[in-house]
Amino acid sequence: MTSLPLQANKIDTIPVLSPALAATSSTVPVVGPILLNRELSQLAFNRRVLAQAEDRHIPLLERLRYLCIASSNLDEFFEVRIASLLAKSRLDGDIKEPPALTAALALTSTECHAIVERQYEVLNQQVLPQLSKHGIHLLRDQDRNERQRAWVKAYFDREVRPLLTPIGLDPAHPFPQVVNKSLNFIVELSGKDAFGRGTAIAILRAPRVLPRVIRLPDELSDNGGASFCLLSSVIHAHITDLFTGREVIAYSQFRVTRDSDLWVDEEEVKNLRQALQGELQVRQFGVAVRLEVAKNCPQHLAQLLLDQFRIDKNRLYAVDGPVNMVRLSELLDLVNFPELRFPAFTPSFPPQLASGDLFAYLKKQDVLLHHPFQSFQPVVEFIRTAALDKNVLAIKQTIYRTGMNSDLMESLILAARQGKEVTVIVELMARFDEEANINWADRLERAGAQVVYGVVGLKTHAKLALVLRREDGQIRYYAHLGTGNYHPTTTKLYTDFGLLTANTAIAMEVNEIFIHLTSLTKPKKLTHLWLAPFALHKEFIRAIRNEAAIARAGRPGRIIAKMNALLDESVIRALYAASADGVKIDLIVRGACALRPGVAGLSENIRVRSIVGRFLEHSRIFYFRNDLAHDVFLSSADWMNRNLFRRIEVAFPILDRAMKKRVIAEGLNPYLKDNTHSWELNGDGVYHKRKVRAKQASFSAQQYLMKTVGTPERE
């Protein structure tokens, strides 16, 4: 599968990026702009996710899951990126789009429509028919037999109809509020209502308390299979029952996607938590940015909805199936067909931590954890042990995403109740996790913990935990630093690294960061940790330029970096310059990438690839050869402007030589070797799936790591 080019075909010139080129030329002619389009690059990642749903080698229920993930990704793309673009052009309630923005939105719209069309083709022509062959039937009304229709009618009368409230539109009943991404119906009626008036349009909202996927009794399924229907299909089949005495001329399901970014003036509000709680109430009714209707929706009804929500026609999506495809994920929880899923996988537990005193072990040796191949439980145990240990005086931790249920958070509450000094920096502005974080902040405060909401205007995205323990009359520092969130679910699904350490120098610097975040004073100079927004960007640029200087001196320069996104222009320009100086650069970028690799006069020595597999690639790893010093840094930050300048982020070094080798051997080399789930980026912005060459064995980085990481032999 290929996707649209991410840049226009024009001639551009760029300033000299490299001292090596400065002596011969003042400009370097380059075909096309030096940066790829951010939005199209982000959509290209969704294409790669969708390709997983098309892959016939992947189990069927997992293919359905990928379809739901692609749909969810697209929802967020509209809720955040498209909403942001539109907000830039909105003045006093009027939309005034400059030509460049109009062109960008049009190009993005073309790709979005193509992705959506392909999603439903894969659903209707591949996934659902194949599931049916395996005994999993998603039945529309025309597919149901008489017994099944009778059961659905009874279900509608018993469970659905009592909760429905059709709204006939008239001056006393204006268009009702439509919640973000909710399932609704627009209905056109003939004749007059019970009061003799010609109300022609009604709106019906599907209750959110009802499941979207409904399982029929097993005795109604043939050959021991499982039959299901969608709530939308149940309502479709009986919508005429709701309008006694009126004829339903036409109807369609519809869904509206709204701007979901929260906005509060952090410098004006006196209590950020209270302000956010208020904003959460209105998030569901932000500016409408997309309208989805059924494929057979009459044009005049679609236009009525577009006018009502003030949505441009190019953001109308007429789909061949449920408008809320992401809710098909409920089906995955209702069936037990293990042969249609990925084989079960249980993360390994480092054997050296299976028994004994955790703190005593850390005093002797650091522990490097590679999730989800290794369990996250040692991190949970680290905090829980500290909570129960009478010698522990204090625990400090940052929280960005942790979910509604978390043993780790419960341990922090326990520690506070035990009388320990517990300080938690909770990021309330973590998008889509605000409500969970507010709830945890409230519980922590009631338990006696000190809760801080970070720095005004800067999200606290760093992943840090610190334990202070009294030992032999002195305070000993223990720390955890990670690339991913303290979240019980994502730690099983996202690839991340974490370091448990008793290294005094690093742990004391972690403590300095906590003091900086709580006191808002200028942080002390840090020797080991790179902290954004103060030093992280500068240090990354310095490390890149150092490799360039080494290459100019005639020695090998080498950079390998793995991250979620690469969008910061200053970093990209530094990489271009290093490439021109002869540095060999490999970039493993899961999502959006604005850098153009392999372009003559710009980036001949840069290769970019993306890995999309069973787990979401989430770790950030930065390797600089540095004349055989082999500097390895792990970080919470991507190479994006927001991470480098508008967030609290930390990059931390791996100092132990064996652990450096392990990060390279597990976090980088397998991904450069992968020829199964690897997509390579061309200079024109098009990704191509890497294929196994003749006489070459197939190799999957994730499969390799599942088999090898964390085994006793490797420990």
Find residue 687's DSSP bridge partners.
681
Question: Looking at residue 548, what DSSP letter applies?
Answer: H
Closest by Cα among 704, 691, 676, 663 to 612: 676
**CA within 13 Å, CB half, 164:** 26
Residues carrying an active site annotation: 461
Residue 431 counted as an annotated binding residue: yes
Identity of residue 549? A
Q: Is 494 annotated as a binding residue?
A: yes
d(CA 336, CA 343): 13
Angle between helix axes 569-580 and 536-552 (nearest 10 degrees) is 10
Find all residues with CB under 8 Å of 575, minimum gap 6, and list them.
Answer: 544, 559, 585, 587, 595, 603, 606
CA 161 to centroid of chain Cα atoms: 36
Of 353, 159, 156, 313, the residue nearest 240 (C-alpha): 156
DSSP type of residue 210: S
- 304: burial class by Cβ within 10 Å (0-12, 13-18, 19+)? middle
Task: Give the H/E segment covering residue 209.
Answer: none
Whether 436 and 493 have beta carbons less than 8 Å apart is answered as no
618 annotated as ligand-binding: yes
**590 belongs to an annotated ligand binding site:** yes
Three-state secondary structure call for residue 613: coil
CA atoms of 50 and 59, how far apart (whole Å): 14
Residues sharing a CB contact under 8 Å with residue 347, sequence separation 6 or more, in sequence order? 371, 372, 373, 374, 375, 376, 492, 710
DSSP collapsed to 3 states, 618-669: CCEEEEECCCCCCEEEEECCCECHHHHHCEEEEEEECCCHHHHHHHHHHHHH
Return the amino acid letter for 342: F
401 annotated ligand-binding residue: yes
Alpha helical stretches, state H, 262-376: 272-282, 299-309, 329-332, 358-364
Q: Annotated binding site: which residue ranges?
A: 73, 401, 431, 494, 590, 618
Which residues are part of a known binding site for Mg(2+)?
401, 431
